[in-house]
Chain A
Amino acid sequence: SQKIEQNSEALNIQEGKTATLTCNYTNYSPAYLQWYRQDPGRGPVFLLLIRENEKEKRKERLKVTFDTTLKQSLFHITASQPADSATYLCAPRLNAGNMLTFGGGTRLMVKP
Protein backbone atom coordinates (compact mmCIF):
# COMPACT_ATOMS: atom_id res chain seq x y z
CA SER A 1 0.00 0.00 0.00
CA GLN A 2 1.08 3.57 -0.51
CA LYS A 3 2.55 5.28 2.49
CA ILE A 4 4.03 8.63 3.47
CA GLU A 5 6.34 9.01 6.43
CA GLN A 6 7.17 12.21 8.24
CA ASN A 7 8.89 12.45 11.60
CA SER A 8 6.11 12.30 14.15
CA GLU A 9 8.34 13.70 16.87
CA ALA A 10 8.71 17.46 17.12
CA LEU A 11 11.86 19.06 15.77
CA ASN A 12 13.33 21.62 18.15
CA ILE A 13 15.94 24.05 16.86
CA GLN A 14 17.50 27.33 17.86
CA GLU A 15 16.58 30.57 16.14
CA GLY A 16 18.87 31.34 13.23
CA LYS A 17 19.67 27.70 12.47
CA THR A 18 18.48 25.75 9.44
CA ALA A 19 15.56 23.40 9.98
CA THR A 20 15.39 20.28 7.81
CA LEU A 21 12.23 18.20 7.65
CA THR A 22 11.99 14.85 5.92
CA CYS A 23 9.22 13.27 3.88
CA ASN A 24 9.66 9.66 2.75
CA TYR A 25 7.19 7.76 0.64
CA THR A 26 6.86 4.16 -0.44
CA ASN A 27 5.31 2.51 -3.48
CA TYR A 28 4.78 5.89 -5.07
CA SER A 29 5.89 7.49 -8.26
CA PRO A 30 4.58 10.98 -7.58
CA ALA A 31 4.91 13.46 -10.38
CA TYR A 32 4.46 16.30 -7.96
CA LEU A 33 4.92 16.92 -4.28
CA GLN A 34 3.59 19.82 -2.23
CA TRP A 35 4.43 21.20 1.19
CA TYR A 36 1.96 22.93 3.48
CA ARG A 37 2.19 24.73 6.78
CA GLN A 38 -0.46 24.30 9.47
CA ASP A 39 -0.79 26.40 12.60
CA PRO A 40 -2.83 25.13 15.59
CA GLY A 41 -6.56 25.48 15.04
CA ARG A 42 -6.16 26.56 11.41
CA GLY A 43 -6.31 25.03 7.97
CA PRO A 44 -3.13 24.16 6.04
CA VAL A 45 -1.50 26.85 3.92
CA PHE A 46 0.31 26.03 0.68
CA LEU A 47 4.05 26.71 0.62
CA LEU A 48 5.78 25.06 -2.31
CA LEU A 49 5.23 22.62 -5.14
CA ILE A 50 8.02 20.63 -6.77
CA ARG A 51 7.79 18.50 -9.90
CA GLU A 52 9.59 15.19 -10.47
CA ASN A 53 11.90 16.74 -13.05
CA GLU A 54 12.97 19.44 -10.57
CA LYS A 55 15.61 18.52 -8.05
CA GLU A 56 15.27 21.69 -6.02
CA LYS A 57 12.84 24.57 -5.56
CA ARG A 58 13.35 27.76 -3.55
CA LYS A 59 11.10 30.47 -2.18
CA GLU A 60 12.65 33.12 0.06
CA ARG A 61 14.05 31.18 3.08
CA LEU A 62 12.42 27.92 2.02
CA LYS A 63 14.00 25.17 -0.06
CA VAL A 64 12.56 21.84 -1.13
CA THR A 65 14.41 18.95 -2.71
CA PHE A 66 12.88 15.95 -4.43
CA ASP A 67 14.84 12.74 -4.87
CA THR A 68 12.73 10.24 -6.80
CA THR A 69 15.42 7.57 -6.51
CA LEU A 70 15.50 7.76 -2.71
CA LYS A 71 11.74 8.43 -2.65
CA GLN A 72 12.34 11.39 -0.40
CA SER A 73 11.70 15.11 -0.18
CA LEU A 74 13.56 17.42 2.17
CA PHE A 75 12.15 20.74 3.32
CA HIS A 76 14.61 23.34 4.59
CA ILE A 77 14.00 26.63 6.38
CA THR A 78 17.13 28.74 6.62
CA ALA A 79 17.68 31.42 9.27
CA SER A 80 14.71 30.02 11.17
CA GLN A 81 12.58 32.30 13.33
CA PRO A 82 10.14 31.59 16.18
CA ALA A 83 7.34 32.56 13.76
CA ASP A 84 8.28 29.50 11.69
CA SER A 85 7.04 27.28 14.51
CA ALA A 86 4.19 25.20 13.05
CA THR A 87 3.39 21.76 11.69
CA TYR A 88 4.62 21.09 8.17
CA LEU A 89 2.80 18.62 5.95
CA CYS A 90 4.11 16.99 2.81
CA ALA A 91 1.68 15.83 0.13
CA PRO A 92 2.74 13.82 -2.89
CA ARG A 93 0.40 13.92 -5.86
CA LEU A 94 0.06 10.87 -8.04
CA ASN A 95 0.78 11.31 -11.73
CA ALA A 96 -2.49 9.85 -12.88
CA GLY A 97 -4.75 11.47 -10.33
CA ASN A 98 -5.68 14.82 -8.93
CA MET A 99 -5.78 13.94 -5.27
CA LEU A 100 -3.28 14.97 -2.66
CA THR A 101 -2.24 12.39 -0.08
CA PHE A 102 -1.01 14.05 3.08
CA GLY A 103 1.59 12.87 5.52
CA GLY A 104 0.95 13.19 9.24
CA GLY A 105 3.18 16.25 9.49
CA THR A 106 6.21 17.25 11.54
CA ARG A 107 5.92 19.86 14.24
CA LEU A 108 8.74 22.41 14.20
CA MET A 109 9.56 24.46 17.29
CA VAL A 110 12.02 27.32 16.87
CA LYS A 111 13.33 28.64 20.17
CA PRO A 112 14.59 32.22 20.55
Chain B
Amino acid sequence: NAGVTQTPKFQVLKTGQSMTLQCAQDMNHNSMYWYRQDPGMGLRLIYYSASEGTTDKGEVPDGYNVSRLKKQNFLLGLESAAPSQTSVYFCASSYGSGVGYEQYFGPGTRLTVT
Protein backbone atom coordinates (compact mmCIF):
# COMPACT_ATOMS: atom_id res chain seq x y z
CA ASN B 1 0.00 0.00 0.00
CA ALA B 2 1.26 3.44 -0.93
CA GLY B 3 -0.97 5.07 1.71
CA VAL B 4 -1.56 8.76 0.95
CA THR B 5 0.29 10.23 -1.99
CA GLN B 6 0.50 13.87 -3.06
CA THR B 7 1.60 15.52 -6.29
CA PRO B 8 3.55 17.60 -6.94
CA LYS B 9 6.15 17.58 -4.16
CA PHE B 10 7.31 21.11 -4.95
CA GLN B 11 5.74 23.94 -6.91
CA VAL B 12 6.59 27.56 -7.60
CA LEU B 13 3.81 29.84 -8.84
CA LYS B 14 3.63 33.47 -9.75
CA THR B 15 0.95 35.63 -8.17
CA GLY B 16 -2.32 35.19 -9.99
CA GLN B 17 -1.58 31.76 -11.44
CA SER B 18 -3.80 28.80 -10.70
CA MET B 19 -3.01 25.20 -9.95
CA THR B 20 -4.42 21.99 -8.51
CA LEU B 21 -2.80 19.90 -5.81
CA GLN B 22 -3.62 16.25 -6.09
CA CYS B 23 -4.09 13.71 -3.31
CA ALA B 24 -4.79 10.01 -3.57
CA GLN B 25 -5.26 7.27 -0.97
CA ASP B 26 -5.42 3.52 -1.44
CA MET B 27 -6.75 2.58 2.00
CA ASN B 28 -10.43 2.79 1.08
CA HIS B 29 -10.87 5.61 3.58
CA ASN B 30 -14.12 7.52 3.61
CA SER B 31 -12.83 10.87 4.83
CA MET B 32 -10.12 13.11 3.45
CA TYR B 33 -8.63 16.44 4.52
CA TRP B 34 -6.42 19.28 3.31
CA TYR B 35 -4.21 21.17 5.77
CA ARG B 36 -1.62 23.87 5.44
CA GLN B 37 1.36 24.17 7.76
CA ASP B 38 3.17 27.43 8.34
CA PRO B 39 6.07 28.10 10.74
CA GLY B 40 4.76 28.82 14.21
CA MET B 41 1.14 28.29 13.15
CA GLY B 42 0.81 24.55 13.27
CA LEU B 43 -1.49 22.63 10.94
CA ARG B 44 -4.66 24.42 9.91
CA LEU B 45 -7.57 22.71 8.21
CA ILE B 46 -8.53 24.15 4.81
CA TYR B 47 -11.30 21.78 3.66
CA TYR B 48 -12.41 18.29 4.44
CA SER B 49 -14.62 15.64 2.87
CA ALA B 50 -16.52 13.28 5.12
CA SER B 51 -17.45 11.04 2.20
CA GLU B 52 -17.26 10.86 -1.58
CA GLY B 53 -19.07 13.76 -3.18
CA THR B 54 -19.28 15.92 -0.03
CA THR B 55 -16.99 18.73 1.08
CA ASP B 56 -16.99 21.21 3.95
CA LYS B 57 -14.98 24.27 4.86
CA GLY B 58 -12.37 24.14 7.55
CA GLU B 59 -10.63 26.93 9.42
CA VAL B 60 -8.94 28.69 6.46
CA PRO B 61 -10.90 28.01 3.22
CA ASP B 62 -10.62 31.42 1.54
CA GLY B 63 -8.78 31.34 -1.78
CA TYR B 64 -9.15 27.58 -2.19
CA ASN B 65 -11.61 25.15 -3.72
CA VAL B 66 -11.84 21.38 -3.51
CA SER B 67 -13.25 18.45 -5.39
CA ARG B 68 -14.00 14.89 -4.24
CA LEU B 69 -15.48 13.15 -7.27
CA LYS B 70 -13.88 9.79 -6.50
CA LYS B 71 -13.50 8.17 -3.11
CA GLN B 72 -9.75 7.80 -3.48
CA ASN B 73 -8.99 11.33 -4.69
CA PHE B 74 -9.24 14.77 -3.11
CA LEU B 75 -8.14 17.79 -5.15
CA LEU B 76 -7.23 21.23 -3.80
CA GLY B 77 -7.41 24.15 -6.21
CA LEU B 78 -5.90 27.60 -5.98
CA GLU B 79 -7.79 29.87 -8.34
CA SER B 80 -5.51 32.90 -8.17
CA ALA B 81 -2.40 32.26 -6.11
CA ALA B 82 -1.23 34.87 -3.62
CA PRO B 83 2.06 35.09 -1.68
CA SER B 84 0.07 34.43 1.52
CA GLN B 85 -0.61 30.94 0.17
CA THR B 86 3.08 30.05 0.33
CA SER B 87 3.05 27.07 2.67
CA VAL B 88 3.42 23.33 2.98
CA TYR B 89 0.18 21.54 2.14
CA PHE B 90 -0.70 18.17 3.62
CA CYS B 91 -3.46 15.83 2.59
CA ALA B 92 -4.77 13.27 5.08
CA SER B 93 -7.35 10.52 5.17
CA SER B 94 -9.21 8.54 7.82
CA TYR B 95 -11.53 5.57 7.79
CA GLY B 96 -14.38 7.48 9.34
CA SER B 97 -15.19 11.07 10.06
CA GLY B 98 -16.51 10.41 13.50
CA VAL B 99 -14.49 10.89 16.63
CA GLY B 100 -11.88 8.29 17.38
CA TYR B 101 -10.38 7.89 13.93
CA GLU B 102 -6.70 8.59 13.41
CA GLN B 103 -5.59 10.42 10.32
CA TYR B 104 -2.98 9.25 7.84
CA PHE B 105 -0.96 12.02 6.21
CA GLY B 106 0.75 12.34 2.88
CA PRO B 107 4.33 13.61 2.45
CA GLY B 108 3.26 17.17 1.67
CA THR B 109 3.54 19.67 -1.18
CA ARG B 110 5.80 22.67 -0.70
CA LEU B 111 4.29 25.63 -2.54
CA THR B 112 5.98 28.97 -3.08
CA VAL B 113 4.09 31.90 -4.57
CA THR B 114 6.25 34.78 -5.78
Total interface residues in chain B, CB < 8 Å: 26
Known contacts A8-B40, A102-B42, A105-B42; is A32 also within 8 Å of B100 by CB? yes
Contact of B102 among A34, A51, A89 (CB under 8 A): A34
* A104-B108 in contact (CB<8A): no
Total interface residues in chain A, CB < 8 Å: 25
Instruction: List A contacts of B44 (CB < 8 A).
Output: 102
Q: Does A27 contact B (CB under 8 A)?
A: no
Specify the main secondary structure of chain A where it touches its partner.
Answer: loop
* A98-B105 in contact (CB<8A): no
Q: Does A95 contact B (CB under 8 A)?
A: yes
Taking Cβ atoms with an 8 Å cutoff, the residues of B that contact A are 4, 31, 35, 40-45, 48, 50, 58-59, 90, 92, 97-100, 102-108
